[in-house]
Structure 1
């Protein structure tokens, strides 16, 4: 008997939770270390903000933890300085006016310096604390945050740096699987209005492609800043360039789905077969390890899809051939094939064409 809906939900929840157990454990240990170091270094009663800064810095995407730590420090220092100035100028007597003015100036300053939400939030909160508590509390907050950020950087950049290639691969895999599901949906539904079929899938795909772009940016940053992964910079740059093409692959797949959805039910044929075969290739590429031999197998399979598509006359079939060719070409570039080689192989219908060197 198959699994019921409840078991599937529990299984999905466990999969998501299991993937976060190690980062959560790191955050807990790092927060405890921040508290201990701050108590050891500074003579104040409760180092409250050290573990808070560590938690805020580490509680983000794995590739962005180091940058987040810097943003926390920037926001706190900015907010404390402005809050101290407001306290000195207006004191406690002004009350809400002093707090409002300090928060306004702190948010504008953080917006000009960085513009990220975490920086602005830390600046605003620090301004409130500095006005409400006076000079000593503001200085203690800066001390604590420096310790908390230092511990976060120790964990994210030295002890447990994320592998830059795996960082992108995870986001890329999710997007490829969504694209495969989108293609299968298009090959199964004929005679439907694409405006009813595609919006929900397009929104989900857009979010995944945004995640890929964020992972690509984080991957490059990790390889540049983390000593352990600097040796991978050439592979990282190659993967980054290929990942930029994933958005184009998404557009090509959407075009294929539109063509399939707009066709009448009785016209099922070569396009549906090509879409299903391309979905198989996407799923295989998403499931495989990103080593060169596995990528080559997927590349050959994708080229075979384009080569098998019949060269039938008619404008409609010409549009279908063009759409299939675009999708195959974009997939080849995502897999690491140089653009000129990919274009030539698709144009010449050559599944065995030499394709240059895939990134290692």
Structure 2
């Protein structure tokens, strides 16, 4: 059943597949936001007896969002911003009334106070919007203003509680994102090696563009890794996953650096191809093997705990490649070929670090 559904999805146009995949990955956060919004409204109405606590579900949804990362930070910023906006709005509107210039004054003062107190991007926006509501639609002063601040606090707390009690697997997204980047680099390395063998500038350029197109995926990977650490810290259900999430998160910088170094390799290789300079066949073989090593790293990333390939398997494959990436291969080479080899060696250091080696150990392997 699942295989048949997957085949049908694979037959859809690429834009449709991307949208379905994005929706699938967002289903749990969407459910969390919906539950948190309804629960925060119920608590504000039935427990605190607030007549129209619309700030509660708004705060719950904004504090959670679809991103896993910084939910705790968003909750604090939102509650603080709402409180500042209500405070400024209640104090000023009750004295100066409402109107065009009053809104200008209220919004400016609320945002000035918010920026002065904290550098978070959400606080000034929430302070301004809350102040506008008080200055235009809501009666200022009295118990109503206090209720609005409480509603925002309820929403923020409920959002954090729902995220802790019904969490997303903190390691799943991070592993998937990292594996996706590594798969792209696998294909790019294979393409680069093929283009260099054929002296095909178009293929080499395509490999470079593939590597350049990974930045958004890397940014998403980093955000999900931060979110995974946050979930494993807040949610009791995943406290046992902290070490694993930490190990996965430790690959963020090496993966990013490996992609950057590969871009340099591909850019230098393209320059050699444009000038008609052939690259040493053994260096091309090393680049091709790097593509296979990226595949091993991808398999390591998505393997279940205790499964294969693991970090030791990946390190073993990479060590065999580094033994062949000798500096004497370019002892009598041109400056361009020497530069490519130097970047290849730097790339191997990054890949060894993805496999769990410390930088000093990775560098020692190349020596």
Work out whether the TM-score is over 0.5: yes
Q: Does the 8 A contact of 1:129 with 1:137 survive in 2?
A: no
What is the match of residue 323 of structure 2? Answer: 307
In 2, Cα distance between equivalents of 1:114 and 1:194: 49
What is the match of residue 353 of structure 1? Answer: none
What is the match of residue 131 of structure 2? Answer: 127
Aligned residues: 344
Deviates more, 1:148-157 or 1:256-265: 256-265
Matched, 1:283 2:282: no
Match among 190, 212, 237 for residue 221 of structure 2 = 212
In 1, Cα distance between equivalents of 2:255 and 2:201: 27
What is the match of residue 351 of structure 2? Answer: 331
Matched, 1:117 2:131: no
What is the match of residue 3 of structure 2? Answer: none
After TM superposition, list the pairs within 5 Å mapping 1:53-72 onto structure 2.
Answer: 53-72=59-78
Deviation at residue 68 of structure 1 after TM alignment:
1.9
After TM superposition, list the pairs within 5 Å mapping 1:160-309 onto structure 2.
Answer: 160-189=166-195, 190=199, 192=201, 201=210, 204-264=213-273, 267=278, 269-287=281-299, 288-289=302-303, 291=305, 293-294=308-309, 295-309=311-325
Aligned-pair RMSD on alpha carbons?
3.2
In 2, Cα distance between equivalents of 1:162 and 1:307: 41
User: Closer, same or farther in 2 for the Cα pair 1:216/1:6, shift >3 Å?
Assistant: closer
After TM superposition, list the pairs within 5 Å mapping 1:143-158 onto structure 2.
Answer: 143-157=150-164
Deviation at residue 300 of structure 1 after TM alignment:
1.9
User: Closer, same or farther in 2 for the Cα pair 1:41/1:291, shift >3 Å?
Assistant: closer
Deviation at residue 325 of structure 1 after TM alignment:
1.9
What is the match of residue 360 of structure 2? Answer: 340
In 1, Cα distance between equivalents of 2:204 and 2:351: 25
Match among 142, 152, 157 for residue 149 of structure 2 = 142
In 2, Cα distance between equivalents of 1:204 and 1:106: 40
User: Closer, same or farther in 2 for the Cα pair 1:205/1:259, shift >3 Å?
Assistant: same
Contiguous gaps of at least 5 residues in structure 2: 1-6
Deviation at residue 156 of structure 1 after TM alignment:
0.9
Structure 2 SS opposite 1:130: helix
Q: Does the 8 A contact of 1:49 with 1:145 survive in 2?
A: yes
Deviates more, 1:27-36 or 1:107-116: 107-116
Deviation at residue 77 of structure 1 after TM alignment:
0.9
In 2, Cα distance between equivalents of 1:114 and 1:192: 51
Matched, 1:43 2:43: no
In 2, Cα distance between equivalents of 1:87 and 1:286: 59
Deviates more, 1:264-273 or 1:321-330: 264-273
In 1, Cα distance between equivalents of 2:282 and 2:204: 23
What is the match of residue 91 of structure 1? Answer: 97
Q: Does the 8 A contact of 1:194 with 1:258 survive in 2?
A: no
In 1, Cα distance between equivalents of 2:66 and 2:192: 35
What is the match of residue 26 of structure 2? Answer: 20
Deviation at residue 241 of structure 1 after TM alignment:
3.8
Q: Deviations over 1:113-143 (max 9, x none)?
A: 3333332221111111122222254333222
Deviation at residue 194 of structure 1 after TM alignment:
12
Deviation at residue 247 of structure 1 after TM alignment:
2.6
What is the match of residue 4 of structure 2? Answer: none
User: Closer, same or farther in 2 for the Cα pair 1:130/1:138, shift >3 Å?
Assistant: farther
User: Closer, same or farther in 2 for the Cα pair 1:23/1:237, shift >3 Å?
Assistant: closer
In 2, Cα distance between equivalents of 1:26 and 1:211: 20
Q: Deviations over 1:125-168 (max 9, x none)?
A: 111112222225433322221221121111112x1234443343
Deviation at residue 83 of structure 1 after TM alignment:
1.3
User: Closer, same or farther in 2 for the Cα pair 1:59/1:4, shift >3 Å?
Assistant: closer
User: Closer, same or farther in 2 for the Cα pair 1:139/1:67, shift >3 Å?
Assistant: same
If the length of structure 1 is used for normalisation, what is the TM-score?
A: 0.82
